[in-house]
Amino acid sequence: DTGVSQDPRHKITKRGQNVTFRCDPISEHNRLYWYRQTLGQGPEFLTYFQNEAQLEKSRLLSDRFSAERPKGSFSTLEIQRTEQGDSAMYLCASSWAPGGYTFGSGTRLTVV
Amino acid sequence: GIQVEQSPPDLILQEGANSTLRCNFSDSVNNLQWFHQNPWGQLINLFYIPSGTKQNGRLSATTVATERYSLLYISSSQTTDSGVYFCAVYNNAGNMLTFGGGTRLMVKP
């Protein structure tokens, strides 16, 4: 059990560029979650997968955001046409049942 | 949606002191989790505690679901306890967490 891995750890991008983050959950976990955390705040829910199916999406997930989990393993979160307001820590978590999340170390995005 | 409030927002302790962090939530919940976010941003599970009391070393937690609150106790605090402590509650399906604003703890040597 190597935990939840996220890549990259840090990303600096220019406004208007597209970025993609990757999350590798704990191997036996069938549930995967994405959260966003801005400075000084608690994390906010973005989306949830059970296996490869995306079952919940927050209203925070605008049309510029898309998440996938092909084959129910790793997941990617893409942000198109980044804006300065997208600067945040993007956290991935996984679990094998409802509850009992394990979080990754996050990807810190800075849009300049 | 459900509201989660944590107090105090900031706490400074001398090493060796004890503290109690509180989490209030606005509606009944199926489950609750406490996390510690270290200075590198990693969220570490502390307790998954729907009700009752659990202990792990110098830390313990108590959730009184009927009264909609949970407490995290830190005894004999150490500098490595510094960071942000978050309380988060699960929705009924168990697939979404709502976090409180956190308690920022600094333990001074």
B10-17 average pLDDT score: 97
| d(C-alpha A88, C-alpha A86), whole Å | 6
A91-99 average pLDDT score: 87
With 60 as the cut, is the pLDDT of residue B70 above it? Answer: yes
Sort out which chain A residues have CB atoms less than 8 A from B95's CB and list them. 31, 33, 48, 50, 55-56, 98
| d(C-alpha B87, C-alpha B107), whole Å | 19
Pick the residue from chain A with its C-alpha nearest to B10: A40
B43, B84, B92, B104, best to mutate vs chain A, most A CBs in 10 Å? B43
B11-16 average pLDDT score: 97
Specify the pLDDT at position A1.
53
A11, A37, A47, best to mutate vs chain B, most B CBs in 10 Å? A37
Residue with tokens 């590198």: B40
Does B47 contact chain A (CB < 8 Å)? Answer: no
Residue A102 near residue A33, CB atoms below 8 Å: no
Does A42 contact chain B (CB < 8 Å)? Answer: yes
Pairing of strands B103-108, B10-14: parallel
User: How many percent of chain B have pLDDT more than 70?
Assistant: 100
Pick the residue from chain A with its C-alpha nearest to B33: A100
Specify the pLDDT at position A100.
77
Cβ-based neighbours of B2, under 8 Å, separated by 6 or more = B25, B26, B27, B29, B89, B91, B98
Q: What is the pLDDT of residues A14-52, one digit of tens each?
A: 999 999 999 999 998 999 999 999 999 999 999 999 999
Specify the pLDDT at position B47.
94
Specify the pLDDT at position B27.
86
With 90 as the cut, is the pLDDT of residue B29 above it? Answer: no
| d(C-alpha A62, C-alpha A68), whole Å | 15
Residue with tokens 């990754």: A104
**Residue B13, both tokens:** 């302790």
Specify the pLDDT at position B41.
87
